[in-house]
Amino acid sequence: MRLIVLLSVLASLFIAGCRRETKRVVGVVPKGANHIFWQTVHAGAIKAAHEYGFEVEWNAPALEIDSSRQIEIVESMVNRRLAGIALAPVDKKALVGVVDRAAKAGIPVSIFDSGIDTGNRISFVATNNEEGGRMAARRMGEALGGKGKAVVIGFMPGSASTMEREHGFQDEIRSKFPGIDILGLQFGMADRAKAMAVTENVLTAHPDLAGLFADNESSSAGAVQALKSRNAKGVKMVAFDASEQLLADMKAGWIDSIVVQNPFRMGYESVKAIGMYLKGEKPPASVDSGAALIRPEDLEKPEVKELLFPDIQKYLR
């Protein structure tokens, strides 16, 4: 009898321990992990997790275009019944199935950075990407005096966030600056070398290119290298997302301006939404994490410094 009671107590403790672990772990799945953008998202996610008593399980595909690997990561989290999942979908259609399965299993999913074609989410945290594209277009129109040839170096087909930036940029140019001829959209495919190559091809085909909009960090990094390799400092480039190198290139005059997001807030709000949901509170259906266009003269402003250089090591170390 004592043995039965002991086994019963041990089983109860084991089950309780498993439940505690499930409640404490939130999965965060970005598109990638190499860029400073995602590292900053990670720091923001950890801050929110600390506030709600969670641990963060951070897992990302090695390549930002690898939707199959991202699906595998999310499926593993669903199978292990994590308390919640915050996801930045690589592709707005490819990830629908696994997100729907998470919802069916009772696991709350918050979506961040890029949208997804399902309503099975508790919150959507992102930059207003279409407005970010329009912001870049207004600066481009001003820099070019409303005329000249311009090109867009994009991320990849199917990425909701960058598609919205591309649409916003092109629509704003066509409606407000009809004298600017948009040559088309080229994709860097999350590869700096590829972005550099396609930009060099555009420069070869159009030596009179006046403007360039690169709508993500890897495309921006590759495009500016192409401008340097061709000594094309006369091309007005508007980048999207900041890194130390891109900021240095802006200071040096290779980049006119950069649209900067707030990845720390993006990570924070996406995990906070899960925390609210698990406490029985209703998280906001959507959160605009914010963006700003900066130029070299803005870099010493306190609010810009805070946006560009949050203390992420405080959370990542």
Per-residue model confidence (pLDDT) at position 24 = 84
DSSP calls for 203-261: HHH-TTEEEEEE-SHHHHHHHHHHHHHTT-TTSEEEEES--HHHHHHHHTTS-SEEEEE
pLDDT at 12 over 50: no
Indicate the pLDDT class of residue 8, thresholds 50, 70 and 90: very low
Query: pLDDT digits over 82-99, tens only?
Result: 999 999 999 999 999 999
Per-residue model confidence (pLDDT) at position 9 = 39
What's the rounded mean pLDDT across residues 205-216? 98
pLDDT at 46 over 80: yes
Indicate the pLDDT class of residue 35, thresholds 50, 70 and 90: confident
Considering the domain architecture, whether residues 224 and 236 belong to the same structural domain is answered as: yes
Considering the domain architecture, whether residues 80 and 164 belong to the same structural domain is answered as: no
CATH of the domain at 83: 3.40.50.2300
Tokens of 303: 């609010």
Tokens of 264: 């720390």
Residue 284 lies in a domain: yes
Considering the domain architecture, whether residues 8 and 63 belong to the same structural domain is answered as: yes
pLDDT at 66 over 90: yes
Considering the domain architecture, whether residues 135 and 223 belong to the same structural domain is answered as: yes
**CA–CA separation, 251 vs 179, rounded Å?**
28
3-state helix, strand, coil in the chain (%, to 5): 50, 20, 30
Considering the domain architecture, whether residues 95 and 138 belong to the same structural domain is answered as: no
Q: What is the DSSP secondary structure assignment for residue 173, as one 8-state letter? A: H
Indicate the pLDDT class of residue 10, thresholds 50, 70 and 90: very low
CB 219 within 8 A of CB 188: yes
**CA–CA separation, 101 vs 246, rounded Å?**
39
Nearest alpha carbon to residue 153 among 110, 105, 189, 187: 187
pLDDT at 164 over 70: yes
What's the rounded mean pLDDT across residues 53-66? 96
**CA–CA separation, 139 vs 240, rounded Å?**
12
Considering the domain architecture, whether residues 133 and 256 belong to the same structural domain is answered as: yes
pLDDT at 72 over 90: yes
Dihedral sign from CA coordinates of 83, 52, 276, 116: negative
Per-residue model confidence (pLDDT) at position 20 = 40
pLDDT at 229 over 50: yes
Residue 316 lies in a domain: no
Per-residue model confidence (pLDDT) at position 166 = 98
Of all residues in the chain, the percent with pLDDT exceeding 70 is: 93
Considering the domain architecture, whether residues 182 and 200 belong to the same structural domain is answered as: yes
What's the rounded mean pLDDT across residues 126-134? 97
pLDDT at 260 over 50: yes
Query: What SS3 class is residue 84?
Result: strand
Considering the domain architecture, whether residues 239 and 273 belong to the same structural domain is answered as: no
Considering the domain architecture, whether residues 178 and 250 belong to the same structural domain is answered as: yes
**What's the domain count of the chain?**
2
The residue out of 261, 279, 308 marking a domain boundary is 261
pLDDT at 261 over 80: yes
Considering the domain architecture, whether residues 254 and 270 belong to the same structural domain is answered as: no
Query: pLDDT digits over 289-306, tens only?
Result: 999 999 999 999 999 999
Residue 142 domain boundaries: 129-261
What's the rounded mean pLDDT across residues 18-47? 85
Per-residue model confidence (pLDDT) at position 7 = 40
